[in-house]
Amino acid sequence: MISLLTTFNSNHFIHSIVVIYLRDNHQSILYIYLQNSACIHQIHHLASSVLLLTYLSLSIAFGWNSILSIKMRAKVLIRFLPLIVATLFVVTSAGNFYQDFEITWGDGRAKILENGQSLSLSLDKASGSGFRSKYEYLFAKIDMQLKLVPGNSAGTVTTYYLSSLGPTHDEIDFEFLGNLSGDPYTLHTNVFTQGKGNREQQFHLWFDPTKDFHTYSILWNPQSIIFSVDGSPIREFKNLETKGVNFPKNQPMRIYSSLWDAENWATRGGLVKTDWSQAPFTATYRNFNAQVCVWTSSGSSCSSNKSPSSSSTQSWLSESLDSNGIAKVHWAQKNYMIYNYCTDTKRFPQGPPFECLA
């Protein structure tokens, strides 16, 4: 039996403990394998599989020679296969919408187009639609180009976010709240840790997001979460665990996206309703680009759909904002921010949450 017992994170090193428990007629052996994550050490996942195999073979050849029969050794190898396969399939995870995503709802309203080069979501009175990533990630840098619902999009919400599951889930949100023709979309952002959100920041954009495709990015690594628009950072949520603020770093997340109706709150707080005579409403996605640590049964492995030989492949894992980035965030917040939970004294009369002060 092979089981992934636990994973833990210390000092930015991710370890998976895999326990192999063998039971023969008269003896049982408990073998613990400590796998340093490829993610942090930048060992390519393929290499780590090979290492694992070699290590195992050596152990069997020398260490367990007197204990294990040939049959048992073969069993060990066979039982390790799922692990190795799980690690290998990361290689093919980058590419187009067919490879990276699956449509989850909407009864045909979500469509992968142009051989997987783009995807469209639509919404009508009967239903919206949505998709999610096939894989789970533990840290990611994702870029997606979106062209939002044009014209009168009041009442509609287009979402694009990372989320784990369960009552104590983590979540990193982009939501685009539609508006009447000519009135600005609202870009809504939020960060949930351990099931708790309440960290909303909202922006207007410096362009019309329905005319052309624009790039919306989330960088999520152990130090920071950075939201960017067309490469310009608009918000950073730093890891302040040392000051007692939770940070998402133990639960793998998936990408989710949807187009749905939220006329009760989306536009001017629900005052402007959806005009169904304009339906169907359509938003389009293209050029998904990701540098990710894919989470599998064997732990976390990092890959990139940029050139694998690029030496800067994994620099995103330690990226945080430099002074130039901080200046850009200040620019966006000064000119385009329309709501900031940090300055909402009605909501936090006893003072803003700690991360706002740091």
Ligand X SMILES: *[C@@H]1O[C@H](CO)[C@@H](O)[C@H](O)[C@H]1NC(C)=O
Would you please indicate which residues are annotated as catalytic (active-site) residues?
Answer: 171, 175
Determine if 122 is a binding residue for ligand X (CB under 6 A).
no
Amino acid at 293: C
* Minimum distance of ligand X from residue 186's CB (angstroms): 4
Contacts of 327 (CB under 8 A, 6+ apart): none
Contact 53, 84 (CB under 8 A): yes
Determine if 184 is a binding residue for ligand X (CB under 6 A).
yes
Whole-angstrom Cα distance, residue 325 to residue 210? Answer: 26
For ligand X, the closer of residues 164 and 267 by Cβ is 267
Q: Which stretch binds ligand X (CB under 6 A): 40-48, 159-167, 260-268, 280-288?
A: 260-268
Determine if 177 is a binding residue for ligand X (CB under 6 A).
yes
Contact 225, 190 (CB under 8 A): no
* Minimum distance of ligand X from residue 166's CB (angstroms): 30
Q: Using CB under 6 A, pick the residue from 243, 268, 273, 330 that binds ligand X.
A: 268
For ligand X, the closer of residues 186 and 303 by Cβ is 186
Is 313 strand, coil or helix? coil
Determine if 186 is a binding residue for ligand X (CB under 6 A).
yes
Q: Which stretch binds ligand X (CB under 6 A): 21-29, 71-79, 244-252, 263-271?
A: 263-271
- What token pair was written down for 148? 């939002």
Determine if 183 is a binding residue for ligand X (CB under 6 A).
yes
Determine if 200 is a binding residue for ligand X (CB under 6 A).
no
* Residues 209-238, interacting with ligand X (CB under 6 A): none
For ligand X, the closer of residues 42 and 181 by Cβ is 181
Q: Using CB under 6 A, pick the residue from 35, 48, 159, 179 that binds ligand X.
A: 179
Q: In the chain, count H helices and then E strands.
A: 6, 19
For ligand X, the closer of residues 22 and 205 by Cβ is 205
CB-CB neighbours of 69 under 10 Å? 10
For ligand X, the closer of residues 178 and 233 by Cβ is 178
Q: Output b/e per residue, 228-239; b: 16+ Cβ within 10 A.
A: bbeeebbbbbbb
Q: Which stretch binds ligand X (CB under 6 A): 23-31, 175-183, 313-321, 350-358?
A: 175-183
Determine if 330 is a binding residue for ligand X (CB under 6 A).
no
What secondary structure does DSSP assign to 88-155, as a single string? HGGGG--SSHHHHEEEEESTT-SEEEGGGTEEEEEE-SS--EEEEESSEEEEEEEEEEEEPPPS--TT
Determine if 259 is a binding residue for ligand X (CB under 6 A).
no
- What token pair was written down for 245? 């603020």
Determine if 267 is a binding residue for ligand X (CB under 6 A).
yes
Beta pairing, strands 254-261 & 232-238: unpaired
Diameter over CA atoms, the chain: 78
User: What backbone phi and psi angles, to 5 degrees, belong to 229?
Assistant: -125, 120
* Minimum distance of ligand X from residue 336's CB (angstroms): 11
For ligand X, the closer of residues 201 and 246 by Cβ is 201
Q: How far is CA 67 from the centre of its chain?
A: 44
Determine if 273 is a binding residue for ligand X (CB under 6 A).
no
Q: Which stretch binds ligand X (CB under 6 A): 66-74, 224-232, 264-272, 315-323?
A: 264-272
Q: How many residues bind ligand X (CB under 6 A)?
A: 9
Q: Up-side HSE of residue 308: CA atoms within 13 Å toward CB?
A: 13
Q: Which stretch binds ligand X (CB under 6 A): 19-27, 96-104, 183-191, 293-301?
A: 183-191
Is 256 strand, coil or helix? strand
Determine if 156 is a binding residue for ligand X (CB under 6 A).
no
For ligand X, the closer of residues 253 and 266 by Cβ is 266
Q: For binding to ligand X (CB under 6 A), which residues are involved?
A: 177, 179, 183-184, 186, 266-268, 338
